[in-house]
Amino acid sequence: MSAEPIRMKTPAEEGFPAVFDAAAAGLPGTPDIAAARRAAIALVRDEGLPHRRIEAYHYTDLRALVRSVPPLAIFAADATGAALTDAATVIGFTNGRLTKTPEALPAGVILQSFVEAASAGSITLPTPAGLADSVSSLNTAFASDGAMLYVAPAGDAAAVIELQSAVVGGGQAHLAHRVTVAAGAKLLLIDRTSGPADTDYLASGSLTLVVEDGAEVTLVRLQREGDKATRFDRLDISLGEGSKIALHSVSLGAKLWRFEIGLSITGDDAEAQLFGAGLLQGRQHGDTTLFVDHAALRGTSKETFKSVATDEAKAVFQGKILVRPGAQKTDGKMMANALLLSERAEFMTKPELEIFADDVACGHGATCGEIDENHLFYLMARGVPKPVAEQLLIAAFVEEVFDDVPDEALKAALAAEVDGWLAGRAAG
Amino acid sequence: MLEIKNLHARIAEDGTEILNGIDLVVKPGEVHAIMGPNGSGKSTLSYVLSGKDDYEVTEGDILFNGESILELGPDERAAAGFFLAFQYPIEIPGVATMTFLKAAINAQRKARGESEITTPDFMRLVKETSAKLNISSDMLKRPLNVGFSGGEKKRNEIMQMALLQPKLCILDETDSGLDIDALKVVSEGVNALRSPDRAFIVITHYQRLLDHIVPDVVHVLSKGRIVKTGGPELALELEKNGYADFVDVAA
Ligand SMILES: Nc1ncnc2c1ncn2[C@@H]1O[C@H](COP(=O)(O)OP(=O)(O)OP(=O)(O)O)[C@@H](O)[C@H]1O
Ligand SMILES: [Mg+2]
């Protein structure tokens, strides 16, 4: 055996297994699921948290960034609120448990809770392979509830569902959602997370979205965790033949967040439009890590991710497009744009293309800049004071991310969230 | 109303001197035309008056109603009544024209201690004003100036001027890029705003505009200095003979 250098574990690396050992007996699931959880936490126990020498975490060193680990959040009464749009049916989770079950679901929609599915053994949890999968590991180890949704076709209008996750008091909350949108069905799904200010809590979510042949899904995400929170998200999307996904994601909260997206295009002629915005202030650190896997013919994927960073905030975007052999006529375009509002704000980006087919159109680009002085002068020359002019220009930079949201109330709600963030920034 | 005294200004970045001692007095109700060769500093003067921070005033002063405005930012000057119709109005993607117009109107009202304009009043005002300048509702729906033709951008500038009702209007080559009909429409828009308490500085290369907007005084700017001042006949003379008589073109 080779001698491994002995490394001191960080309090967080000690903390996750300790919290797991204390909580494992109470986590839902069959013995198989319990075994998957143990395998996932074993990774953390043995190898700790990912650090900058792990490529996928080069810019987001969890060893340094996750300082401590709170116990699992305790049961709490429902703390979820009204939906962002009247059209939506809310399924609410508080402190990692289902606390709001709708009286009626939209036509064609079937809901089962994660607890029910795990207890019946009708789901399996992913088995993470290494440190690069740490978000999945933690979620697998601790997931305590979630929504298992099946959406069958039901007419022309999309079913509108809002998943809300609230944390009250603090602790850890982990949810795992699975959504299957059957062939030809339409879904507008809202995934919204929030929690208390000034509280050092940790939340994770994994959302697995299976979009079957010809199905159409719009996913709107609004992450508004508290200012001291840690938030980990894993979104896995698979697209069947002729299916469509549009993602509109806005991340405003959390001291530290990582949003991983794995998009897998498995059916021919599928279309994906992924838009994301991260607005970061203070000493926030926000990481979007995207992997697009084109494994079918004529797949289209357009990714546009925008970061706004001020104060000493750090924005990270890592994006990779893989075009597998035979995935001809793939059209993949990835764009990362950052707007830095202060000298100490940072943007780190790593775009990658890996192409194994010859007849494809793929590209990526990245821009990083400040507010355009000429734009600012034009607005100010019309009497608009600098802070308001800046707000208009930052909102303009971000707007594209939710411009195509099909529900007007939802779109207005997202714009209002961004305006609220901007007003808060202007007020200092 | 406006008194420019021995104004010297340079480019902040590299210190290049552009304005070399400009003296100009504009009284309420007057229209002053500024002509001069390319690169003589006309646009720079308009920017310095508007408070663009690419330029530094190194000497002299700008007084508006007797008070120096050098310490005021562009927004404060606009609130005080300055308006610059840009030579090259820029496109601002993502900022809706209507949102921008409302923000501008309300910012100026707020600076003057007035209440915000109501949405119906705002809509009515924009509708009336845009109709006079042949600006379609389709253009108003687009982001600010995005995809506008050169002439449309210029008309949009004049519409903003009409909406904001400034005291001192600086028009930087508003005529260039306008077709013959648009030139008339824009001139009518400007003339409609002429009043005893409002003054205009009209920068142009062509006598044609001054047929429509008749100036009280015409100045020739060369190398950052006013080298000649006269009445409207000066513009005619320039049209005929060029700048050679006033400007050391060979140098
Ligand atoms: N920000 C700047 N950076 C570099 N050079 C500048 C800048 N602003 C003005 N200049 C230079 O100053 C001189 C005057 O420019 P200005 O635009 O004021 O001329 P103008 O009289 O308006 O010309 P035109 O008739 O072509 O519009 C030019 O030589 C120009 O290149
Ligand atoms: Mg000019």
Q: What is the pLDDT of residues B130-177, one digit of tens each?
A: 998 888 999 999 999 999 988 899 999 999 999 999 999 999 999 988
Q: How far is the CA of B48 from the centre of ligand 2 (A)?
A: 12
Q: Is there an atom of ligand 1 within 6 Å of B204 CB?
A: no
> What are the residue ranges spanned by the domains of chain A?
73-376, 377-428
d(CA A107, CA B90): 49
Q: Do B78 and A383 touch (CB under 8 A)?
A: yes
Average pLDDT over residues A249-256: 98
Whether residue A421 is predicted with pLDDT greater than 80 in this model: the reply is yes
Other residues' Cβ atoms within 10 Å of the Cβ of residue B111: 15
d(CA A5, CA A186): 53
Whether residue B214 is predicted with pLDDT greater than 80 in this model: the reply is yes
pLDDT on residue B241: 84
pLDDT on residue B244: 81
- Nearest-CA residue for atom 6 of ligand 1: B11
Instruction: Decide if A75 touches B, using CB distance below 8 A.
Output: no
- Nearest-CA residue for atom 25 of ligand 1: B38
Residue matched to tokens 């190398």: B223
pLDDT on residue A189: 98
Amino acid at A203: A
Question: How big is the A-B interface in CB pairs under 8 Å?
Answer: 75
pLDDT on residue A2: 54
Q: Is there an atom of ligand 1 within 6 Å of B11 CB?
A: yes
Q: In terms of Cα–Cα distance, which of B226, B202, B205 is closest to B214?
A: B202
Other residues' Cβ atoms within 10 Å of the Cβ of residue B240: 8
pLDDT on residue A321: 97
- On average, the pLDDT of chain A sits at 95
To test the contact with chain A by mutation, choose from B84, B95, B156 the residue with the greatest count of A C-beta atoms within 10 A, namely B95
- Nearest-CA residue for atom 7 of ligand 1: B11
Report the percent of chain A where pLDDT is more than 90. Answer: 95
Q: In this structure, what CATH number is given to the domain that contains residue B7?
A: 3.40.50.300
Question: Number of C-alpha atoms within 13 angstroms, CB side, residue B151?
Answer: 13
Higher pLDDT, A256 or B136: A256
Q: Do A378 and B86 touch (CB under 8 A)?
A: yes
ipTM confidence score: 0.95
- Nearest-CA residue for atom 29 of ligand 1: B39
Joined tokens for residue A179: 């959504």
Residue of B nearest to A388 (CA): B103
Other residues' Cβ atoms within 10 Å of the Cβ of residue A282: 11
Q: Judge contact between B227 and B220, C-beta under 8 A.
A: yes
Q: Which helix (H) or strand (E) holds A304?
A: strand A300-309
Each residue's pLDDT tens digit, A321-365: 999 999 999 999 999 999 999 999 999 999 999 999 999 999 999
Q: How far is the CA of B40 from the centre of ligand 1 (A)?
A: 7
Q: Please enumerate in sequence order all residues whose Cβ is within 8 A of that of B11, keeping only pairs 6 or more positions apart, or say none.
A: B18, B54, B55, B56
- Which band of pLDDT confidence, cut at 50, 70 and 90, is reported for residue A4? low
Number of domains chain B contains = 1
- Which band of pLDDT confidence, cut at 50, 70 and 90, is reported for residue B250? very low
Average pLDDT over residues B104-129: 93
d(CA A279, CA A418): 8
Q: Is there an atom of ligand 1 within 6 Å of B12 CB?
A: no
d(CA A317, CA A349): 5
Q: Cα distance from A150 to chain B (closest Cα, Å)?
A: 37
∠ CA A355-A271-A112, nearest 5°, is 115
Each residue's pLDDT tens digit, A181-234: 999 999 999 999 999 999 999 999 999 999 999 999 999 999 999 999 999 999
**Residues flanking ion ligand 2, Cβ below 5 Å:** B 42-43, 87
**Ligand minimally distant from the alpha carbon of residue B38:** 1
Alpha carbon separation from B156 to A214, B88, B91 (Å, rounded): 45, 12, 11
Q: Judge contact between B145 and B156, C-beta under 8 A.
A: yes
d(CA A163, CA A176): 11
- On average, the pLDDT of chain B sits at 92
pLDDT on residue B248: 62
Whether residue B251 is predicted with pLDDT greater than 50 in this model: the reply is no
Each residue's pLDDT tens digit, B41-87: 999 999 999 999 999 999 999 999 999 999 999 999 999 999 999 99
Whether residue A245 is predicted with pLDDT greater than 80 in this model: the reply is yes
Q: Do A399 and B94 touch (CB under 8 A)?
A: yes
- Which band of pLDDT confidence, cut at 50, 70 and 90, is reported for residue B5? very high
**Chain A 384-403, residues with CB within 8 Å of chain B CB atoms:** 384-386, 388-389, 392-393, 395-397, 399-400
Give DSSP secondary structure letters for A67-80. ---PPBPPP-----
- Which band of pLDDT confidence, cut at 50, 70 and 90, is reported for residue A87? very high
pLDDT on residue B177: 84
Whether residue A177 is predicted with pLDDT greater than 60 in this model: the reply is yes
To test the contact with chain A by mutation, choose from B46, B92, B172 the residue with the greatest count of A C-beta atoms within 10 A, namely B92
Tell me which residue range forms the domain holding B225.
2-250
Q: Do B143 and A385 touch (CB under 8 A)?
A: no
Q: Do A381 and B160 touch (CB under 8 A)?
A: no
Residues of B at the A interface (Cβ-Cβ below 8 Å)? 50-54, 73-75, 77-79, 82-84, 86, 89-90, 92-95, 99-100, 103-104, 107-108, 111, 143, 160, 164
Whether residue A296 is predicted with pLDDT greater than 90 in this model: the reply is yes
Average pLDDT over residues A155-183: 97
Each residue's pLDDT tens digit, A46-66: 999 999 999 999 999 999 999
Average pLDDT over residues A238-255: 98
